[in-house]
Amino acid sequence: MNKQVELPKAFSKERLLELAHQMWLIRYFDEKVDEFFARGLIHGTTHLCVGQEATAAGACAVLNEQDKITSTHRGHGHCIAKGADVNRMMAELFARETGYCKGKGGSMHIADVDRGNLGANGIVGGGIPIAVGSALTAKMKNLDYVTLCFFGDGASNEGSFHEGINLASVWNLPVIFFCENNQYGMSGSVKEMTNIENIGDRAAAYGIPGIVVEGNDLFAVIEATQEALERARNGGGPTLIEAKTYRWKGHSKSDAKKYRTKEEERFWRTEKDPLVFMANRLIEAGLTDEQEWENIRLQAKEEIEAAVRYAEASPQPSLDSLETDVYA
């Protein structure tokens, strides 16, 4: 899992720098959301993916526009990686009518069906059966798309995980089960919740490949997902990928993180920052330099600031729209 993966040969310099920009967008989006929740300017709750940028960007990097994803309650990165407009995302969190759900869904319910994002989900493991249903649709209708299902380590102990993977295996469906193991399900360490070293090893019970990768290494994530994508697209059925990563923030905005040590947090922030890792690899390969990398960072930061201005200037939903898009 710790081997250094080669840079993806099919990716141009421009494409790799686009992914760097995307990862900075993910980080600054969630850092800004964290700031506004702390100031009481955004309401409800949110679950941030700061520190997990490589899993979202790497997994979605190999998908095409027809391929689908299902997301989680910690899904802002997935949305951005699948091509979502950060202006509309920020407007949704500000409860403005220009948001993806017209300001009614908030952080955990952003969807962008036109780009293949079937939606975030506030239910732990809730996206797994949706992804299996999407993959079944592709197989029954002979449609050429693959569905990638994001879920966390906590969801791997839900019934939907086992039932979904079992059905996908039995029916040989074009689906990738992508576990973002960020080490904690709410306040519980994955070591206390499972009695195996790797969640990816559970694939053997269902007769499908299981791959365990360094989730903060963008290139390792790309390599693993590409292999699983080709298998699924060529009729080989599902794959379970476990990407080991770490969330820098708490489980949600109200989490004080008292269940983990400052030393642990410092290690992941300093030694395993996915953006620092990517910068070092690209600079070593001569594909960028420190100044260009800094320009990419600053451009992404300004785009998020512009998204905030867009959200603040957008109108709030009217009372007349209260019952629109509500089903009974």
CATH for 209: 3.40.50.970
**Taking the CA of residue 262 as centre, how many other CA atoms within 13 Å lie in the half-sphere pointing to its CB?**
0
Distance separating alpha carbons of residues 223 and 62, to the nearest angstrom: 9
pLDDT at 303: 98
Assess whether pLDDT exceeds 90 at residue 10: no
Judged by DSSP in three states, 182 sits in coil
Smallest CA-to-CA distance from 225 within 50, 81, 85 is with 81
Whether 191 is in a domain gets the answer yes
The residues annotated as belonging to the active site are 247, 251, 259
Please state the rounded mean pLDDT for residues 80-84: 97
**Structural domains in the chain (count):** 1
pLDDT at 93: 95
Q: What angle do CA 74, 76, 81 make, to 5 degrees?
A: 120
Please state the rounded mean pLDDT for residues 68-76: 97
**pLDDT above 90 as % of the chain:** 88
Distance separating alpha carbons of residues 18 and 95, to the nearest angstrom: 29
Please state the rounded mean pLDDT for residues 67-81: 97
Digit-coded pLDDT (tens) for 289-324: 999 999 999 999 999 999 999 999 999 998 888 888
Distances in whole angstroms, Cα of residue 89 to Cα of each of 3, 81, 96, 143: 36, 12, 10, 29
Band (1; pLDDT cuts 50, 70, 90) = low
Residue whose pair of structure tokens reads 């949704």 in the numeric block:
92
Which residues 6+ apart lie within 8 Å of 224 measured at CB? 211, 213, 241, 243
Whether 8 is in a domain gets the answer no
Please state the rounded mean pLDDT for residues 159-165: 98
Burial class (CB in 10 A: 0-12, 13-18, 19+), 1: middle
Whether 118 is in a domain gets the answer yes
Cβ(126)–Cβ(118) under 8 Å? Answer: no
Which residues 6+ apart lie within 8 Å of 190 measured at CB? 153, 181, 183, 184, 199
Strand 175-181 versus strand 239-244 pairing type: parallel
Digit-coded pLDDT (tens) for 230-280: 999 999 999 999 999 999 999 998 888 899 999 999 999 999 999 999 999
Whether 326 is in a domain gets the answer no
Max Cα separation, the chain?
A: 58
Smallest CA-to-CA distance from 275 within 260, 296, 257 is with 296
Bridge partners, residue 151, by sequence: 179
Mean of pLDDT over the chain: 95
Query: Does the CA dihedral 209-214-216-219 come out positive or negative?
Result: negative
pLDDT at 3: 65
Whether 94 is in a domain gets the answer yes
Identity at 165, one-letter amino acid code: I
Lowest mean pLDDT among 3-12, 53-62, 75-84, 93-102: 3-12
Whether 260 is in a domain gets the answer yes
DSSP string of 225-251? HHHHHHHHHTT---EEEEEE---SS-S
Digit-coded pLDDT (tens) for 175-223: 999 999 999 999 999 999 999 999 999 999 999 999 999 999 999 999 9
pLDDT at 321: 86
Please state the rounded mean pLDDT for residues 145-169: 97
Domain range holding 109? Answer: 13-314
Predicted model pTM: 0.95
pLDDT at 95: 94
Whether 79 is in a domain gets the answer yes
Alpha helices for the chain (secondary structure H): 13-38, 53-61, 76-81, 86-93, 127-140, 159-170, 190-193, 218-233, 262-271, 274-284, 290-313
Distance separating alpha carbons of residues 183 and 199, to the nearest angstrom: 11
Please state the rounded mean pLDDT for residues 39-49: 91
- As given in the structure block, the two tokens for residue 252 are 């949600």
Band (116; pLDDT cuts 50, 70, 90) = very high
Distance separating alpha carbons of residues 259 and 188, to the nearest angstrom: 8
pLDDT at 259: 94
